[in-house]
């Protein structure tokens, strides 16, 4: 399977380094708005992928594109990639808080017969939430605690209370998980974001209640060494999503 990566930051680099060793996958192309970043990553990889401008990247022969750039990059490129008949794994889930964009992506994927996969990212329990949503979910709350550095704020304590869409708008590089929860559940998410200058891990706590019963999931993620705004688990979840494209025996989502 021929794969390209859109976005060569912390998460994109971790995914590229894994793909570089995976025999079932050929990493053929990289692109980033900062071309130098993509070039430095390519130099470290045995697979020697091409470094392309976005328009060239979209035209490259690939079966799968992994998007791990930003909400803006997703909205600029995702539809064009899908319309070229390429499958997509996308981590910038916050882009789908724009419901019109989400609708267009779904329609284009259906028309072209390709898949758009949203990994679980920095949280766990998405398979259980999707199962619970088949009946009725009454309430979901997400409480995220990160360092002040990771959130890009100075003050400690609660820095946001509101819904998933507003959370993504205010913290676009920190709270994609809120939109992932919405997509899995179809339910409005109550979001609380807390800043703590002394915390080392990124903590996500999800509380769900419904006809299925009650669920509480707490994940303490090690931040990415290259970017404290992201969790290491986010990159790992994308790798699992990629493997699901070529593995015949799958567990969960």
Residues identified as active-site? 204
Burial of 181 (0-12, 13-18, 19+ CB in 10 A): buried
Provide the phi-psi class of 125: left if phi over 0, else alpha when psi is between -120 and 50, else beta.
left
Give the whole-angstrom CA distance, residue 110 versus residue 49: 29
Residue 132: DSSP 8-state: H
Q: Which of 248, 252, 242 is nearest to 12 (CA)?
A: 242
Task: Report H helices in the chain.
Answer: 10-19, 35-43, 54-59, 71-83, 99-112, 126-132, 148-151, 164-170, 176-185, 232-243
Output the CA angle 198-199-205, nearest 5 degrees.
145
């Amino acid at each position: 399977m021929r794969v390209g990566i859109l976005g060569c930051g912390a998460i994109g680099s971790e995914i590229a380094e894994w793909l570089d060793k995976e025999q079932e996958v050929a990493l053929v192309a990289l692109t980033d708005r900062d071309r130098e970043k993509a070039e430095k990553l390519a130099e470290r990889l045995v697979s020697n992928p091409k470094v392309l401008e976005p328009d060239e990247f979209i035209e490259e022969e690939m079966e799968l594109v992994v998007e791990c750039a930003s909400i803006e990059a997703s909205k600029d490129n995702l539809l064009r990639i899908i319309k070229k008949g390429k499958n997509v794994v996308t981590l910038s889930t916050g882009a789908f808080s724009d419901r019109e964009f989400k609708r267009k992506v779904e329609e284009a994927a259906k028309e072209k017969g390709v898949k758009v996969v949203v990994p679980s990212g920095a949280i766990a329990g998405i398979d259980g939430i999707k199962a619970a949503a088949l009946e009725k979910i009454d309430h979901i709350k997400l409480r995220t605690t990160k360092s002040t550095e990771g959130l890009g704020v100075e003050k400690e304590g609660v820095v946001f209370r509101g819904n998933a869409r507003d959370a993504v708008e205010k913290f676009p590089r920190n709270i994609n998980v809120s939109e992932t929860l919405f997509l899995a559940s179809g339910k409005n998410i109550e979001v609380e974001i807390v800043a703590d200058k002394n915390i080392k891990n990124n903590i996500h706590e999800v509380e769900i209640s419904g006809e299925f019963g009650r669920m509480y999931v707490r994940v303490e993620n090690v931040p990415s060494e290259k970017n404290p705004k992201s969790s290491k688990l986010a990159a790992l979840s994308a790798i699992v999503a990629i493997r699901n494209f070529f593995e015949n025996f799958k567990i969960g989502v």
